[in-house]
A and B are shown apart, each in its own frame.
Chain A
């Protein structure tokens, strides 16, 4: 314990002095870590972060629904469902391959061109759609792995009780599948938490965009650091929760085993 503490202090001090002794440190400190600029930029950047949070909530809900549907379709058996299965498989292939930023551009500038609505939908809405499209492809694969990890004897028992295929899926398979993949899902959620910052490329004034505007106004990069810090703070609780939950699952599984 004491050794660990001493070692940590020594290591931190070494890193700190190395940084301070670099020739450009003073200039970097002025342009990236200026408290006055941070205070000035704070209201706008914080306002932007609220937009990120809103997008996050809607995107997470959308991903949850779309990915469960995709995963379910991919696990349907029987030749009747072949076209649906192929469609879902194709979807996950394409959207796992496409860089998110390209999906953002395609949806952000392509969809308004289709003219569904009289006015151009807000950039934040289009950004949310793009996030849902991309993340659903990943998350559906996580759900599919969970569904396939539920032992077939569970389906057998459910069907033997007279439950229909849909009931079996809803009452027996999915609840168990979700439990199995919760740590992986939480990890994807953490990834999405920071990717909501990418909607700024469509012009939505989120934390990143607000920081960019403030940076341009003050000729100082501190607002970016501020926004970055806020994203980290936003992600930390979820990251800790994921670690805690994974550890608990591991402990529980090992408690059941002999070795």
Chain B
């Protein structure tokens, strides 16, 4: 069986600085992969490469076996199959919660407003915000906004969900509700690649943890192995800073 997502020798530089230096990674259907590493280690850039928000300098990205880094592939079509959640939610402030969630379904996937809203209401119900559909994002708490952003990314049933430090901008009190939603998704079989600073959460939810250092994969393995008995010296140094 081919992997859902496969990265092959990804290289990317910004003005002379090489941010990704030959990344190889495979993600199987239903896998939850956590990317950890210091700021600037290339986690976010890697997610942006997968979503074609950055063009690679070298290497290929395969989604369900299709080379999506091929210039002939239309980026909009690829992005429509991948859900992304950002650190700062990025909900559309001029649209209601319901319209935020249904926007892509209606305008990209050609779903009728009625069907899109039925689906959106189901999802909002799952996160306990069914009664806030007509509210505007600025009326919600940060945790609620981030959960809506997750639902917005899921509304079109993407093949893959990318989470980019989704709890970093949240009040510590609100982190729990967002993480528990991600845990539910992981248990439900959603394929997730997430960049995170929440080590305990990565350990708890991820099937595989990937430690990035200086644009390279320094070490990867199961959470037990990587957190329990890290083999690489750099991993040990990094984790020591978190446990102290």
Contacts and interface: CB of A to CB of B under 8 A. Distances in A.
Interface of A: 153-154, 156-164, 167, 171-172, 175-176, 179, 256
B108 A163 contact: yes
Nearest to A162: B80
Interface stretch (B89-97, B111-119, B208-216): B89-97
Pick the most buried of A153, A161, A172, A176: most chain B CB atoms within 10 A of its CB. Answer: A161
B104 interface: yes
A162 B77 contact: yes
Given A153-B86, A154-B90, A161 B108 contact: yes
19 contacts: A154-B90, A157-B90, A157-B91, A157-B92, A158-B92, A159-B53, A159-B76, A159-B79, A160-B79, A160-B82, A160-B84, A162-B77, A162-B79, A162-B104, A162-B109, A162-B156, A171-B107, A176-B94, A256-B138
Contacts of A163: 76, 103-104, 107-108
Contact of A162 (B76, B91, B93, B138): B76
B220 interface: no
Contacts of A161: 79-80, 103-104, 108, 152-153, 156
A164 B79 CA distance: 10
B88 interface: yes
Shortest beta-carbon contacts, A-B, top 5: A162-B80, A157-B90, A161-B104, A160-B84, A162-B108
Given A159-B79, A160-B53, A256-B138, A153 B88 contact: yes
B104 A176 contact: no
A167 B79 CA distance: 14
A179 to B, nearest CB: 6
Contacts of B60: none
B163 to A, nearest CB: 12
Nearest to B75: A159
Among B77, B86, B88, B93, the most chain A Cβ lie within 10 Å of the Cβ of B93
Interface string B119-161: 0000000000000000000100000000000001100100000
Given A162-B108, A163-B76, A154 B92 contact: yes
Contacts of B107: 163, 167, 171
Contacts of B167: none
Given A160-B84, A161-B80, A256-B138, 20 more contacts: A153-B88, A154-B92, A157-B86, A159-B53, A159-B79, A160-B51, A160-B53, A160-B79, A160-B82, A161-B103, A161-B108, A161-B153, A162-B77, A162-B79, A162-B80, A162-B108, A162-B156, A163-B107, A172-B92, A176-B93
Contacts of B138: 256
A87 to B, nearest CB: 27
Nearest to B77: A162
Given A160-B51, A164-B76, A179 B94 contact: yes
Interface string B32-72: 00000000000000000001010000000000000000000
Contacts of B81: 162
B118 to A, nearest CB: 19
Nearest to B91: A157
A164 B104 CA distance: 11
A168 to B, nearest CB: 10
Contacts of A172: 92
A164 B109 CA distance: 12
Contacts of A160: 51, 53, 79, 82, 84
A154 B89 CA distance: 10
Contacts of A156: 53, 86, 90
A164 B82 CA distance: 15
A163 to B, nearest CB: 6
A167 B109 CA distance: 13
Most buried by A among B81, B94, B138: B94
A69 to B, nearest CB: 21
Which of B53, B76, B109, B156 has the most CB atoms of chain A within a 10 A radius of its CB? B76
A172 B53 CA distance: 18
A127 B82 CA distance: 52
Q: Which of B53, B108, B138 has the most CB of A within 10 A?
A: B108
Nearest to A155: B90
A199 B51 CA distance: 54
A248 to B, nearest CB: 15
